A = this chain, B = another copy of it.
């Protein structure tokens, strides 16, 4: 089966959107633009052995390839629209694998009405690159750079789940093939917070998606907002209750602060927009938690229940896989 047949069989579908003037099958895609919009573009590559292992189900890999990119659009409060997909496939991969991958990829694409408009396949060591495009009303994209001292720091969902799932699987306590485990589910089927990002557009001063761990990603907000600092309260950091059955609270905090791959949003809201924020958030089916406050002393400081400073120097970035 050659490249054209592979694409035709598994990836090409009727255009799902009126916005696609020319889709897959020409040298490039041509997409129409609504008046008053700006284009938002994000891209990410997943590489076998670095970002995933072959044990991971192909359908979840398809899902994740798109999800990590949609997560970046969520952090810009953008409305996703199209995606290109570049697959590098080793010769030992069965066609069935490609079919499963496509199912996961297109399943998520359908949910968010994202049209696959181009890409390519090559032979080589397994990796996949997706590039997503979305639209946002002119001047209304969120960014990392608007946080101010006094803003409340929020995160969505629970943190550390993906890193914890990886840890449990590596210890042999769960199997990578267990599709029902809530931690592995977070690792393999991350949910891009598109709707939340959309609601935050008018209230958040900064947003980032947590892909490298809360500390690393919050640090980007702080430095890009003008060398600000962040105070975090250990007991506020949202931990999955199930996590506390296998790990101490301190270990859970470590996963939450440093573990990557959660794809939750971290964002800041100024006090005067607190009420509006509370109203908006009721329309979203995603928990959000206030975990701290922005201040003007550079760096992140974490305090425990007794107001003692937690030594976070040992909680460095945990690389996945």
B75–A122 touching, CB < 8 Å: no
* Whole-angstrom distance between the Cβ of A295 and the nearest chain B Cβ: 23
How many positions in chain A have a CB within 8 Å of any CB in the partner chain?
61
Contact pick for A118, options B41, B84, B118, B122, CB 8 Å: B41
Copies in the complex: 2
Cα–Cα, bound, A41→B20 (Å): 11
CB neighbours (8 Å) of A39 from chain B are 30-33, 39, 133
Q: Mostly helix, strand, loop or mixed at chain A's interface?
A: strand
Q: Is B119 a contact of A49 with CB atoms below 8 Å?
A: no
- Interchain CB contact under 8 A, A33 and B28: no
CB of A120 within 8 Å of the partner chain: yes
Q: Do B32 and A123 touch (CB < 8 A)? A: no
Within 8 A of B (CB), among A11-38: 21-22, 25-33, 35, 37-38
A7 CA / B248 CA spacing, docked (Å): 38
Which positions 142-159 of chain A face chain B at CB distance < 8 Å? 143-145
Contact with B along A109-142 (1 / 0, CB 8 A): 0000000011110111101010101101011010
Nearest CB on B from A88, distance (A)? 6
Check if A32 sits within 8 Å of B138, measured CB to CB.
yes
Write the nearest CB–CB distance from A316 to chain B, whole angstroms. 12
Interface presence of A86 (CB below 8 A): yes
Nearest residue in B to A211 (C-beta to C-beta)?
B27
Contact of A27 among B84, B122, B129, B144 (CB under 8 A): B144
Residues of B within 8 A of A138 (CB): 32
A129 CB to nearest chain B CB (Å) = 4
* A95 surroundings in chain B (CB, below 8 A): none
Q: Which residues of B contact A44 (CB under 8 A)?
A: 86, 120
A115 to chain B, nearest CB (A): 11
Are B123 and A47 in contact, with the CB atoms below 8 A? Answer: yes
Query: For the complex, what is the distance from the CA of A138 to the CA of B30, rounded to whole Å?
Result: 9
Contact pick for A28, options B45, B50, B73, CB 8 Å? B73
Q: Mark A74-111, 1 if CB is under 8 A from B, else 0.
A: 01101000101010100000000000000000000000
Interface residues of A (CB under 8 A from B): 21-22, 25-33, 35, 37-51, 71-73, 75-76, 78, 82, 84, 86, 88, 117-120, 122-125, 127, 129, 131, 133-134, 136, 138-139, 141, 143-145, 207-209, 224
A-B contact pairs, 13 of them (CB 8 A): A21-B139, A22-B141, A26-B145, A27-B42, A27-B207, A28-B78, A29-B40, A31-B38, A43-B119, A47-B124, A48-B124, A122-B127, A124-B125
